[in-house]
A and B are shown apart, each in its own frame.
Chain A
Amino acid sequence: MWFGLLVLASVAAGLIGAVSGMGGGVILIPVLTIAGVDIKQAIGISLISVVALSCGTAVNYVRGHLANLKVSAFLEVFAVIGALAGASITVVVSRRPLFLLCGFILLASWVILWKDWDRAWQSVRSPEEGSRRLILEGSYYDHVERRTVHYRGRRPLIGGALMVVAGLISGLLGIGASAFTVLIHDAVLGLPPKVSAATSNLIIGVMALAGASLYLEAGLIDSKLLAPVILGVLLGALLGSRLLTHLTNRVVLRILFSILPVLGVEMFIHGLWSR
């Protein structure tokens, strides 16, 4: 019974994570904690689920050119540097104010970006020299619009600097920090929402892997829970990555905006629970 419910919750987490780029922790962590799993173990399991989600979605996203491998390679280096720094100082930093601060940042971002809730994505017209040199551009065939969408990234250095912060948060709190990654892709780099979600899924896999290794070393991964979560998330990820190709950029953006405040509130709750 418990095994089956966990698989179902994991399928839902994989599905939502795949179309939003924000990982599956938004569903898995509450489900696991309600079932009596310790919050730290729930975060550890959630991190490994993000690795599974990242791998499961990337098969379709990379093949369909939705995930941009150059954007991912460029931003990953900043993210892992941040994650390593965060993991190194995690023992001397109190987690409570950090969770509360992250919750505040996510809710504030949601409020600030709310006016753009229904906007149509527009391609960056004139990228700076840095973006051109880094070849932060690409194209994918949009099955809904029935045309090839060309796009370019912008402000790579600001994006890189913010990815260090996202990695730092990930390392400090042991979370995937996927909401920050999607926000950076969308609001700073100006990528199409579908590309943001797909590329974010690729990057959060590496960030979550770094975090998961720390939880593994701390003995906080319960393998009894891992198998159903991995199988469920992979199934959800494969279904969700097929679903994303049939959604419009506007719908993907709406999904992102709907999940952002939920994640913000979850961060607040973690903050109140953690010491």
Chain B
Amino acid sequence: MRHVARMKRIADLDMEPLVSAILLRGIVLSVSLIVAGLAWQWVATGQFGINDILQGVNVFHFLLGDLHDVSVAGLHPDVLVDLGVITLLLIPYVRVLASVAYFAWVERQWLYTLLTSGVLFTLTYMLFFG
């Protein structure tokens, strides 16, 4: 009975509110991290400028590098801003991922599932392995 109710809840999901919610949460998180990093930088140095040229990394290595920095030197303003940028870059990726899941499980539109999977595959290659 509970399983049926859950399946009905999934079938009643609308794609627009789902995508909109993903985008909004991603933006709030990204902006929060960037503003926190800038505010910290300003308090520490009296300037907003973050000096950090990102050398030859894909998004995956960018994220790994920042997490490594946090584990070695702890959190600092540059890392917070970087994490905000990474969050922003991952929002469209998560949006496409949600679209694949929606077309497959809710709408059961196999053509669209295939099309969005193609986009997801290409983006995965470019962001994480390119």
Q: Would B49 and A224 count as touching, CB distance under 8 A?
A: yes
Q: Would A48 and B56 count as touching, CB distance under 8 A?
A: no
CA distance A218 to B62 in the complex (A): 12
Q: Would A230 and B58 count as touching, CB distance under 8 A?
A: no
Q: Is the interface of A mostly helix, strand, loop or mixed?
A: helix
Interface residues of A in 192-209 (CB under 8 A from B): 205-206, 209
Closest Cβ of chain B: how far from A195's Cβ, in Å?
A: 14
B104 adjacent to chain A (CB < 8 Å): no
From B15, B19, B62, residue with most partner A Cβ within 10 Å: B19
Residues 48-61 of B, flagged 1 when their CB comes within 8 A of A and 0 if not, give 11111111111100
Q: Is the interface of B mostly helix, strand, loop or mixed?
A: helix
Query: Which stretch (A16-24, A54-62, A118-126, A251-259) binds chain B?
Result: A54-62
10 shortest A-B CB distances, which residue pairs? Answer: A63-B20, A219-B55, A80-B122, A223-B52, A77-B115, A205-B92, A77-B118, A62-B20, A55-B91, A59-B23
Q: Would B92 and A54 count as touching, CB distance under 8 A?
A: yes
Interface size class of A (residues with CB under 8 A): 35 or more
> Given A3-B48, A70-B112, does the pair A216, B58 have CB atoms closer than 8 Å?
yes
Query: Which stretch (B4-12, B26-34, B68-76) binds chain A?
Result: B26-34
Q: Considering only CB atoms, which chain B residue lies closest to A210 in the complex?
A: B126
